[in-house]
Chain A
Amino acid sequence: GESVGLHLPTLSVQEGDNSIINCAYSNSASDYFIWYKQESGKGPQFIIDIRSNMDKRQGQRVTVLLNKTVKHLSLQIAATQPGDSAVYFCAENRVTGGGNKLTFGTGTQLKVEL
C-alpha cells in the first residue's frame, strides 16, 4: 500500500527571537557533523559544521553545540528572520571502507512568525 508521509517536527518562533533546533545522532564513531538548511523544492545548503573534537562552533548568527556524551547536536540561530524559515537537517559523517558516508536526520521545520 501507499506509505503515509510523516509530519516533520515544527518549531515556531517570533521574528527576532532566538531559535534552537535539536538533533540526536546514533553512531558514536561519527567524527564530523553538519547542519543543512533546505528551502521548499530546493537542495540542502550548508550552514555550519563541527568536528567531534570540538564542543562548540560559531558562525554568523549561528552556533552549533555538540554533546558527545549524550550524542546530541543543537543549532542556535540568533535574531531569527523570516528568511530563516526552512527545514533544517543535521547530518553525521563516518569514514567507511567505501569512503565518507553522510547520514541525515529527519529534519525540523522552522517557521518564523512576524
Chain B
Amino acid sequence: DGGITQSPKYLFRKEGQNVTLSCEQNLNHDAMYWYRQDPGQGLRLIYYSQIVNDFQKGDIAEGYSVSREKKESFPLTVTSAQKNPTAFYLCASSIVQANTEAFFGQGTRLTVV
C-alpha cells in the first residue's frame, strides 16, 4: 500500500536527550514536511524539503534538525535545545507541482519527562 509511515506512534524520552522521529513515504513524492501540533492548536511548520539534499526552515525550526539523504525518508531530530519538545509531530509529503495537497502520516506523540 502506498502511504506515509511515521514511527514510532508513541515515544518517551528523558529531558536533555536528542531523539529522532522517522518518516518514510513510498508515494514517489519529492516534497516532504514536518509539522508540530500542540493540544488544541493548529499545525506549525518546522522544516520542509522539495528535493533530496536540500531543505528549508519553517516557522519554528529552532531546536530541530532534519536530513534528506533519500527521496523516501525525511527524519526529524528533536535536540536538547528545543525547550518544549512534548508535542504531536506530523510528517507530510506532496508532489512539487504547485496547487497540490499534502498527504499526512499518522503522527508521533513525543513525551519528554
A residues sitting closer than 8 Å to B (CB atoms) are: 2-3, 5-8, 31-32, 34, 36, 41-46, 49, 51, 89, 93, 95-96, 98-107
Contact = CB atoms under 8 A, between A and B. Distances in A.
B48 A101 contact: yes
Contact of B38 (A3, A89, A102): A3
Given A98-B56, A101-B48, A107 B104 contact: no
Contacts of B74: none
Query: Range of interface residues on chain B?
Result: 20 to 34
A49 B104 contact: no
Given A3-B38, A41-B107, A99-B31, A104 B99 contact: no
Given A5-B40, A31-B99, A102-B102, A44 B94 contact: no
B85 to A, nearest CB: 13
B90 interface: yes
Contacts of A2: 84
